[in-house]
Amino acid sequence: MTTLVRRHIADHGQSTGVMIGVLLLILLGTLRYDNFASLYNLSSFLNYNAMFVLITMGMCLVIMTGGIDLSVGTVAALSSVTAAGFSAHGLEVALPVGVLTGLAAGALNAFMIVIMRIPPFIATLATLLAAKGTALVISDARTVPVDWASNFTQLGMNNVAGWLPWSMLLTVVVGIALWLLVEHRPLGRVMLAAGDNEDTANLMGLSSGWARTWAYVICGGCAGLAGVFLASGFGAGQPLEGLGWELTAIASVVVGGTLLTGGRGSIPASVAGALMLGLIFNLLNFENGLGTFNLSAYWQMVIRGAFLFIVILLQVKITRPLAGD
């Protein structure tokens, strides 16, 4: 019996664990803070975290293939600038421009990594710098105001049915598509196989290069869309934003149980990981609001770090003993 439970935990434990964690945090917040369960907090939480959920999903694909993408944050910043620049033409133009910016960056990453065989860490670091530089050049290092007269800001500021932000709705659609890709399309399975052992995947006659290319391109696209949310939600293209987002995304993916070495990964669990990190941030803000003690933003970072450490410790504790059987 215990082995059955342990086996279940090893198979799904990480994702169920994270999801239970998310529920517990929500319960804690609801019981402890008056306004936590309010519609306002819900929609602003979902709106703010849509960006992080998006880049986390893209990062999850890349990490599944055994790679890493450090450029997601600055690519999102660059996309926020290009999208804001086209905001006068309305959402129907600005959104594709932002996403295309991200896809282009992803294609560049894929070209360097898959064709030129540059290690992902280095290649995406180069893209990180290049995207940041480009964003600063075209924005003249200032925030780029959006056209408030167009429908551009509706995406980042309006809700469906009064509580579900458009940005989160779109993110959910993308998430379902990516989940189907990973679990039910051959391409997604090849991504996992390539991440487990690329040589082997090739010997099996699978085109792992193609799968890895798609992972980086999709990841870039997700970052691009996150950039559009950023510009739309804050009313401006933000060339200086995005640094550190890649680390948040990687942390979320890890919390969701995806192996950093590749070969294993789950979109829903990664989303739960992103929500969990976001919730902790949200709860700490409420805690500050209570006034019992005052945590600066820096202390919040320390707490998040400690939390991450505990999660990974648990991850190791739960999965390692089973590997020994």
Partner 1 sequence: MQPLLDIQGVRKQFGKTLALEDARLTIQRGEVHALIGQNGAGKSTLIKVLTGVHQRDGGDITFNDQPCLFSRPAQAQEAGIATIYQELNLVGLRSVTENIVMGREPRRLGGFIDWKRAHQQASDILAGLGVDIDVRRPLEEYSTAIQQLVAIARAVSRDAMLVIMDEPTSSLDESEVLQLFEAIRRLQQRGTAVLYVSHFLDELFEICDHVTIMRNGAWVADHAISDTRKAVLVADMLGKDVNDIETHGATDFGGALEPVGELLFEARDIATRRHLRCASLQVHRGEIVGLAGLLGSGRTEVARAVFGMDALSDGQMSLEGGSYRPVNASAAIHQGIALLAEDRKREGIVADLSVRENLTLSILPSLCKGVQIDHEAERKLVEHYIEALQIKVSDMDQPIRELSGGNQQKVLLARWLATEPQLLILDEPTRGVDIGARQEIQRIIQDYRAQGGAVLLISSEFDELIEGAHRVVVMHEGRSIDTLNNPGLTESTLVAALSGGQPPTSDDGRGMQKASVRPSTSRETQA
CB of 305 to partner 1, least distance (A): 29
Could you give the residue ranges of the DSSP H alpha helices within the chain?
2-8, 14-32, 39-64, 72-85, 91-110, 120-139, 154-157, 166-184, 186-196, 198-203, 208-234, 245-255, 267-290, 297-323
Select 119 or 186, whichever has its Cβ closest to partner 1.
Answer: 186
Asked if residue 173 binds partner 1 (CB under 8 A), the reply is no
Select 190 or 231, whichever has its Cβ closest to partner 1.
Answer: 190
CB of 201 to partner 1, least distance (A): 7
CB of 79 to partner 1, least distance (A): 29
Burial per residue of 86-120, b for 16 or more beta-carbon CB atoms within 10 angstroms, e otherwise:
bbeeebeebbebbbbbbbbbbebbbebbbeeebeb
Asked if residue 285 binds partner 1 (CB under 8 A), the reply is no
Asked if residue 193 binds partner 1 (CB under 8 A), the reply is yes
Question: Which residue type sits at 161?
Answer: A
When binding is defined by CB under 8 A, the residue of 16, 41, 197, 315 that contacts partner 1 is 197
- The Cα–Cα gap between 157 and 152 comes to 9
Binding segment toward partner 1, per CB under 8 A, in 37-45, 108-116, 148-156, 188-196: 188-196
Burial per residue of 131-154, b for 16 or more beta-carbon CB atoms within 10 angstroms, e otherwise:
bbebbbeebeeebbebbeebebbe
Binding segment toward partner 1, per CB under 8 A, in 47-55, 187-195, 222-230, 313-321: 187-195
When binding is defined by CB under 8 A, the residue of 55, 174, 206, 249 that contacts partner 1 is 206
When binding is defined by CB under 8 A, the residue of 32, 89, 142, 185 that contacts partner 1 is 185
With beta carbons less than 8 A apart as the criterion, state whether 103 and 216 touch.
no
CB of 257 to partner 1, least distance (A): 13
With beta carbons less than 8 A apart as the criterion, state whether 22 and 46 touch.
no
Q: Which residues bind partner 1 (CB under 8 A)?
A: 180, 184-186, 189-190, 192-193, 196-197, 199-206, 259, 263-264
